[in-house]
Amino acid sequence: MNILLEELNTNISALTSSLATAPRSLAREWFARHDFLGPASTNQDTHNLPFQRWYRFKEAFAPRAVIDAFSKLETVPRTCIDPFGGSGTTALTAQFLGIRPTTVEVNPFLADLIEAKLQSYNSQSLLASYNQILDVVSCSTTEPSTILANAPRTLIAPGVNGRWIYSAAVAERILAYRTAIEALNDPSHARLFKVLLGSTLVELSNVIISGKGRRYRAGWERRIVHPSQVGRALQTAFLNALEDVVRFGDRPCRDYSLLRGDARTALNEVTEVDFALFSPPYPNSFDYTDIYNLELWMLGYLKTADDNRRLRTATLRSHVQVKRSFDAVASSPILDRTMAHLSARRGEMWNKNIPDMVRAYFDDLVAILTALHGKITIGGSVMMVVGDSRYAGVSIDVGKILVELGGEIGFKLADLSSMRSMRSSAQQGGTYDLDETLVHLIKR
Ligand SMILES: C[S@@+](CC[C@H](N)C(=O)[O-])C[C@H]1O[C@@H](n2cnc3c(N)ncnc32)[C@H](O)[C@@H]1O
């Protein structure tokens, strides 16, 4: 057996030792399809993993990172929280281990993705809902230019300057499926099918997600996407999901709490938790709202430009693309030194707000850590996977700065360990020299 899988199984056995035999083996069966190709802080190992295969969330960590984190604790927690849920990796893995998860996510499509994975289903009624969708879709038509009247004009042909993301016929079918899904009586089914339709949207489009944004596929002008591909792609996604919920529906914990919204305020609603594990956005100007624009507009999560602006301003201040206040007071010796260097080189940066954004980023994480400190039991742990960034040659050591800021809040450092080296942008050298770090803090 692969040595890493063996180690993982040993950890799973230790973490689930108090559970009955059947739920213990369910976690092991799930992990049997986990690959070991890349670092645990990336999603490279999860393309075939049930649930994680529903939607390729590029910024996810692998479930084995969650197992590793739980295994570092002295006792198995009863509850855990992830304030930056993403694709729900922490919460789903916790359910497999019998640990009750709470998670927060600001992006409504991603919040639906998380909940679609965590909720329970009856497979027969899911099949009935799928048949209802097919019946409705076969005799309905939609008007994309009306439904998407406020969406970016590049979304549908003729687009802007001869470029568009979907042909009118493909957009029409996607919206017909969306309308049929929204007509389902069971909101949990509507959520799952919406997420599955969302999982087909990039492959049906003329763009791919690359680096920090989208770009047109090579030769997209000659690429023909037939409207019938919409239904076929949804069918494939549904059959995979059905297999996963049937095989792995009986997880030791089926309960969960999902808070939809901005973690900077939503954490106030949380009651006591034993452990926090998360990976916040990195201060690298990656705009999550922009990257997930196809799903947000095509599935109706955004209906106006104002919705878009509201969502972008509710995200952590890790990017400069949306105009908003970067007022911040966070201060620590390393942060202040970094800020002095960044301010001195402001003129060389592609956006003059970058230095202010960096302090604001730490201000936001101080708000998160302060809220968690109030919720976590004494002696409880917070683990964060964080990534460094660099602007105009000035590096931001996110891990060390958070250790200093956490110390002021009432956390002591348990461990600071490197997870991998990330590639910097072409302007910053393009080499693998940015650290991704696991920061483990304990509440004093
Ligand atoms: C690095 S991803 C987390 C990935 C996650 N660990 C996983 O495995 O899927 C960070 C997430 O934080 C979310 N986010 C950004 N700002 C937020 C905020 N203010 N409140 C809650 N979530 C936020 C983003 O939408 C994104 O999904």
Q: What is the pLDDT of residues 133-189, one digit of tens each?
A: 999 999 999 999 999 999 999 999 999 999 999 999 999 999 999 999 999 999 999
Q: What spacing in Å lies between the alpha carbon of 184 and ligand 1's midpoint? A: 29
- For 119-138, b/e burial (b = at least 16 CB within 10 A) is bebeeeebeebbebbeebbe
Instruction: Determine the average pLDDT of the residues in 361-382.
Output: 97
Residue 307 Cβ inside 6 Å of ligand 1? The answer reads no
Report, as an integer, the average pLDDT of 366-382: 97
68 pocket-lining for ligand 1 (C-beta < 6 Å): no
Owner of token pair 């949306």: 322
Would you say the CB of residue 276 lies under 6 angstroms from ligand 1? no
pLDDT digits (tens, 9 = 90+) for 383-424: 999 999 999 999 999 999 999 999 999 999 999 999 877 777
Asked if residues 144 and 171 have their Cβ atoms less than 8 Å apart, the reply is: yes
315 lines ligand 1 (CB under 6 A): yes
Does residue 23 or residue 127 have the better pLDDT?
A: 127
Calculate what percentage of the chain has a pLDDT beyond 70: 99
pLDDT at 210: 80
Is pLDDT above 90 for 287? Answer: no
Give the pLDDT confidence of 339-360 residue by residue, as tens digits.
999 999 999 999 999 999 999 9
Distance 165 CA to ligand 1 centre (A): 26
Give the pLDDT confidence of 222-235 residue by residue, as tens digits: 999 999 999 999 99
Residue 176 CA to ligand 1 center (angstroms) comes to 30
| CA nearest to 55, candidates 104, 102, 110, 107 | 110
* 156 secondary structure, DSSP code: B
Determine the atom of ligand 1 nearest the C-alpha atom of 89: 8
Residue ranges of alpha helices (H) inside 249-353 are: 263-266, 288-291, 293-298, 305-314, 333-344
The per-residue pLDDT of the chain, averaged, comes to 94
Segments making up each domain of the chain, as ranges: 3-107+251-443, 123-248
Angle between helices 354-375 and 398-409 (to 10 degrees): 40
Q: Give CA angle at 227 (221, 228), nearest 5°.
A: 130
Q: Mean of the pLDDT values across residues 48-76?
A: 92
pLDDT above 80 (res 428): no
Domain 3-107+251-443 homologous superfamily, CATH: Vaccinia Virus protein VP39 (3.40.50.150)
AA identity, residue 401? I
Cα of 316 from ligand 1 centre, angstroms: 9
Mean pLDDT score, 86-111: 97
Q: How much is the pLDDT for 286?
A: 85
pLDDT confidence of residue 290: 85
User: Is the C-beta atom of 277 inside 6 A of ligand 1?
Assistant: no
What integer is the mean pLDDT of 18-37? 86
Residue from 99, 95, 102 nearest 249 by CA: 95
Q: Average pLDDT for residues 291-300, to the nearest whole number?
A: 95
Ligand 1 binding pocket includes 281 (Cβ within 6 Å): yes
pLDDT for 426 equals 67
pLDDT of residue 41: 75
35-44, pLDDT tens digit by residue? Answer: 777 777 777 7
